[in-house]
Amino acid sequence: MSRYLIVSLPLAGHVYPALGLARELAAAGHDVAWAGSELVLRPLVGADATIFQTGSRLAREQGGAGMAAIKTLWTRFIVPYGKFILPGVDKAVRDYQPDVVLVDQHAVAGAIVAHRHGLPWVTLAVSAMELTQPYRALPKVTDWMTDILRTMWTNAGLPDDEFLDVRDSPYLTLAYTTEELAGQKDFPDRVQLVGPMLTARPGLPDFPFDWLDPERQHVLVTMGTLADGLAYDFYVRAIEAMTALADRVQAIIVAPPDEFPTPPDHIMITNRVPLLRLMPHLDVVVGHGGINTVSEALSTGVPMVVAPIRHDQPVVAGWVADAGAGTRVKFRRVTPTQLATAVTDVLDDPSCRANANRIAESFRAAGGASEAVRLLERLQQTMSAVVPASADALASTTSSPPLANAGLTGNRRIR
């Protein structure tokens, strides 16, 4: 039995995949705890989860597109959040004494603290942006990100000559995708594509499944939490597009019902849906390209129309389109007519469903959370073979863990 501490961003789209892994680890007999905000995590991970409190900090408003959006993501959220939670994560490590820290790719404080204490950390690759690094052809962007991470590293009291890019663990990175979706095949050995780690979410509402008309096709429209003030306008266009398809579809639109109080009879407006339970009843998902929504749709063989907003969503939208599992439209500029056409094109093209099913099969073959647990247990077994046996040896260790592509670590220290 091992102890795993999960450090995630306080966002549902980052917490839920880690929750799938946490549940699988617990089922395998391991102890799992979380470091983060009780206020944010508790509703997402459930009443029985162990949470070491770091406090909460609201993200400042982000905006822009392309690299401008990446800059605001780092300067207004990732960096200030990392600085804020670092003392709490450090205390969690001291109190919980984990064997391994599981770190969201953007929760960089977790990796910094793990290295400080001589613990191995495993990266949870939530973001397609960091996994495929589409900006690597832009050296100024790469250098800017490296400078940010180096500053966080040294500000945390770690030597500059030990600097590591903490977005990618030297031990093991678990990526929530497969080659069939991502396309790329040249990942280093330490990056393991295990597919999505899907799990039931606590506290989701029931859904009136008897509302679904078996004589019609069913479309879900959900744009996540990053649409900001543009969400209302997109949903207006989506309602108009779905209204034009009233003769063949029913649409479920995840949006505030009080903003759209009188939708047509064939359109349901609701705040939340039990997504995994609803997926088998759907024919198309219109989404923003969040990796969770994409994974949940494609794992059930449901093709997509993707309208990416910012961050890694354009990358994921490209994955879906290139894999032939759907199409891509422009979030800000797609017209109702264009959106309706995109939906009907996907509905009428059997190859989209076939390719979505092909990706679903790749997800099943990759193993998801069960394969992730197997890899973590193998890492632990390898570590046990090189960690000194005596308490005196552990207490006297001061060297940093060596790095190896095979996921080996050396001595562990809690200081």
Instruction: Identify the pLDDT of residue 396.
Output: 35
323 with 248, same domain: the answer is yes
First to last CA, the chain: 23
What's the pLDDT band for 141 if we cut at 50, 70, 90?
Answer: confident
- Length of the chain counted residue by residue: 415
Structural domain that includes position 378: 3-195+367-396
Q: Please report, for residues 229, 346, 368, the alpha-carbon distance to residue 226 in angstroms, rounded to integers and kept in the order given.
A: 9, 25, 26
Kindly tell me if the per-residue pLDDT of 164 is higher than 80: yes
Rounded Cα distance, 276 and 379, in Å: 31
Q: What is the pLDDT of residue 376?
A: 97
Does residue 144 carry a pLDDT above 70? yes
Task: Take residue 124 and report the two structure tokens written for it.
Answer: 């949870």
CATH (domain of 123)? 3.40.50.2000
**Beta-carbon neighbour count of residue 229 at 10 Å?**
8
Residue 385 has pLDDT above 80, yes or no: no
Sequence-separated (6 or more) residues with CB below 8 Å from residue 351: 324
Alpha-carbon distance of 145 to 380, in angstroms, equals 31
For residue 209, with 0-12 CB atoms within 10 Å meaning exposed, 13-18 middle and 19 or more buried, which class applies? exposed
Question: What share of the chain in percent tops pLDDT 70?
Answer: 86
Query: Could you tell me the sign of the dihedral formed by the alpha carbons of 190, 196, 199, 204, in that order?
Result: positive
Give the amino acid at 85. Answer: I
Indicate whether 356 belongs to any domain: yes
Whether 200 is in a domain gets the answer no
**153/76 same-domain check:** yes
In a shared domain, residues 317 and 359: yes
pLDDT over threshold 80, residue 44 = yes
Q: Which amino acid is at 254?
A: V
Of 365, 380, 407, which residue sits at a domain end? Answer: 365
Q: Among 52, 102, 103, 57, which residue's Cα sits nearest to residue 77?
A: 57
Measure the CA–CA gap between 124 and 131, rounded to whole angstroms: 10
Q: What is the C-alpha separation between 151 and 354, in angstroms, rounded?
A: 47
Tell me, yes or no, whether 387 and 327 share the same domain. no
Q: Which of 13-27, 129-143, 335-349, 385-399 has the lowest mean pLDDT?
A: 385-399
Cβ neighbourhood burial of 140 (10 Å; 0-12, 13-18, 19+): exposed
- Is residue 406, in this structure, part of any structural domain at all? no
Q: Is residue 203 part of a domain?
A: no
Sign of the torsion formed by the C-alpha atoms of 180, 186, 192 and 198:
negative
Q: In this structure, is residue 18 part of a structural domain? A: yes
Q: Is residue 137 pLDDT above 70, yes or no?
A: no
Q: Which of 123-127, 316-320, 326-330 has the lowest mean pLDDT?
A: 123-127
Residue 348 token pair: 């009428």
Please give the average per-residue pLDDT across 171-186, as a whole number. Answer: 90
- This prediction has a pTM of 0.86
pLDDT of residue 59 exceeding 60: no
**Number of folded domains that form the chain:** 2
Q: What is the DSSP string of 398-411?
A: -SPPP--TT-----
Whether 323 and 391 map to the same domain: the answer is no
Please report the pLDDT score of residue 61 as a whole number: 54
Asked if 168 and 226 sit in the same domain, the reply is: no
pLDDT band at 128 (very low <50, low <70, confident <90, very high): confident
Same-domain status, 217 and 357? yes
Q: Which letter, b or e, does each residue of 65-94 get, where b requires 16 or more Cβ atoms within 10 Å of its Cβ?
A: eeeebbbbbbeebbbebbeebbebbbebbe
CB 271 within 8 A of CB 259: no
Asked if 360 and 373 sit in the same domain, the reply is no
Let me know: does 286 contact 221? Beta carbons within 8 Å. Answer: yes
pLDDT at 407: 37
User: Per-residue pLDDT averaged across 77-95, rounded?
Assistant: 93
pLDDT greater than 90 at residue 212: yes
Whether 76 shows a pLDDT value over 50: the answer reads: yes
Of residues 176 and 12, more confidently modeled: 176
Within 8 A by CB and 6+ apart from 142, the residues are 135, 136
Same domain, 344 and 388: no
pLDDT tops 60 at residue 194: yes
* Residue 50, amino acid: T
On whether both 155 and 22 belong to a single domain, the answer is yes
Q: Are residues 152 and 218 in the same domain?
A: no
Nearest to 134 by CA among 294, 295, 314: 314
Cα–Cα nearest to 222, from 304, 157, 161: 304
- The answer as to whether 294 is a domain residue is yes
Does 405 map to a domain?
no
**Mean of the per-residue pLDDT values of the chain:** 86
Residue 415 pLDDT level (bands cut at 50, 70, 90)? very low
Q: What is the pLDDT of residue 384?
A: 67
What would the mean pLDDT of 104-127 be, rounded to a whole number?
A: 93
Task: Indicate whether 403 belongs to any domain.
Answer: no
Kindly tell me if the per-residue pLDDT of 69 is higher than 50: yes
Cβ-contact 23, 48 below 8 angstroms: no
Does residue 253 sit in the same domain as residue 316?
A: yes
